Structure 1
Amino acid sequence: MIGKIMGYARVSSTEQNLDRQIEEFKKHVPEENIVTDKASGKNLDRSGYKALKGALGLRGGDTLVIMSLDRLSRNKADIKQELEYFKENNIRLMILDLPTSMIQVPDNQKWIVEMINNILIEVLSSMSEQERNTIRKRQKEGISVAKAKGKHLGRPCISYPDNWQQYYSQWKSNQITAKKMMEALNLKSTSFYKLAKQYQLNDKSS
């Protein structure tokens, strides 16, 4: 039994138009089998795509047609995951922007399709790894440059209010409560106790 052919079209927002993708799909897919989404490709959490893989969607022996790999997702790790899912479930992926994936082969030459899928997975894996390494390298370079310029990294430092010492002395001598001091200096409790601890340590070391 020959499996069904389905199409998946996606644009990133409701303002964008799906017509171009749908018109291209009609050359390969019955119109009633075209599933669409108007949603971001940052992850796979999309109603149309979930339905495509749900109870009434793709099965072993079926074919899925998409315009390009980024219609599945913008995330390379997600794309790799989906390619592996299709392979494991015997679902053929045909990509209109990738003519080699559109080759029709007889049953005794299905290894050609599998080879193409394996190459895609390998290429995407390499690209993802390279991208991760590049990001890490740029982060390290950015930190080094920032440190060389004397910039503080991490959470911003809390500075002492102008009249800190006056209120601090009153607080330490029990003339005012910590709450009153916080209100007077407009400090949150976490900032107040952090400054108090820091001030006390500096006072002991001086």
Structure 2
Amino acid sequence: MIYGYARVSTREQKLDRQIDSLNKYVKTENIFCDKVSGKSTDRINYQKLKEIAVAGDEIYIHALDRLSRSKRDIATEFNYFKEKGVILRIMNMPTTMIKLDGQEWVIEMINNIILEVLSSVAEQERLTMLERQREGIESARKRGVKFGRPDVKDKVDEVIKMVNNGSKVTEACQKIGIGKRTYYNYVRG
């Protein structure tokens, strides 16, 4: 059986580009997709794919960093599939796309070298992204930007006053602009 795997980091991102690329080799119904970070391999559809893939199956992945952003995880996953007899075809690693009979050891050796380099790059990209994010947050805080949930104490107090004056909770919350759950969580406190 031939499968595909696509991943983006957030729900807002689109999988279209990867799916279009995978469709050259894989039927759409055999493509497993996740919209979650690559920092862990604990992803619902990826784990389903791992469960159903058996020896002789092939899994196409658009790019190595779609598998993981961790060098250790990439090596672990490659070894897992190798031991299971499942062939990984990483489309941005052309040597994984070659099909040879009798010379697999050469391709495996080349793939191991390329895998080492590309997994290091993928991990470094993640570390760089996290560093940029940390610097951006730090810079924003210096400029007075607040992070986290907004303080709703004043709004809840307004709702309490309105309720004490005869308004219904739902109406008061809508008028002040907070959710009923926020109101009740604060009141139960």
Which of 45, 49, 60 pairs up with 1:65?
60
Preserved contact between residue 64 and residue 118 of structure 2 (Cα < 8 Å): no
TM-superposed deviation, 1:111? 2.6
Matched position secondary structure for 1:9: strand
* 1:1-206 paired onto structure 2 within 5 Å: 4-54=1-51, 57-106=52-101, 108-123=102-117
Amino acid of the structure 2 residue aligned with 1:10: R
TM-score (norm 1): 0.54
TM-superposed deviation, 1:22? 0.4
Amino acid of the structure 1 residue aligned with 2:88: L
What is the total number of aligned residue pairs between the two structures? 125
Matched position secondary structure for 2:55: coil
TM-superposed deviation, 1:101? 1.5
Preserved contact between residue 38 and residue 67 of structure 2 (Cα < 8 Å): yes
TM-superposed deviation, 1:28? 0.7
TM-superposed deviation, 1:104? 2.1
Matched position secondary structure for 1:10: strand
CA deviation profile, 1:38-80 (whole Å, cap 9, x unmatched): 00111011101110111xx211111111011110111111111
Q: Percent of aligned pairs with the same residue? A: 54
Structure 2 runs not aligned, ≥5 long: 125-189
TM-score (norm 2): 0.59
TM-superposed deviation, 1:124? 6.4
- Structure (1 or 2) with the larger CA radius of gyration: 1
Moved over 6 A (4+): 124-128
- Kindly tell me: are residues 117 and 87 of structure 1, through their superposed partners in 2, closer, same or farther at Cα, counting changes over 3 Å? farther
Preserved contact between residue 101 and residue 116 of structure 1 (Cα < 8 Å): no
TM-superposed deviation, 1:84? 1.1
CA deviation profile, 1:141-199 (whole Å, cap 9, x unmatched): xxxxxxxxxxxxxxxxxxxxxxxxxxxxxxxxxxxxxxxxxxxxxxxxxxxxxxxxxxx
TM-superposed deviation, 1:116? 3.3
Amino acid of the structure 1 residue aligned with 2:20: E
Structure 1 runs not aligned, ≥5 long: 131-206
Preserved contact between residue 83 and residue 117 of structure 1 (Cα < 8 Å): no
In the alignment, the residues of structure 1 paired with residue 118 and residue 24 of structure 2 have an alpha-carbon distance, to the nearest angstrom, of 28
Preserved contact between residue 9 and residue 67 of structure 1 (Cα < 8 Å): yes
Matched position secondary structure for 1:65: strand
What RMSD in Å do the two structures reach over aligned CA positions?
2.5
In the alignment, the residues of structure 2 paired with residue 97 and residue 124 of structure 1 have an alpha-carbon distance, to the nearest angstrom, of 10
Preserved contact between residue 93 and residue 114 of structure 2 (Cα < 8 Å): no
CA deviation profile, 1:77-116 (whole Å, cap 9, x unmatched): 111111111221121111111222211223x333344223
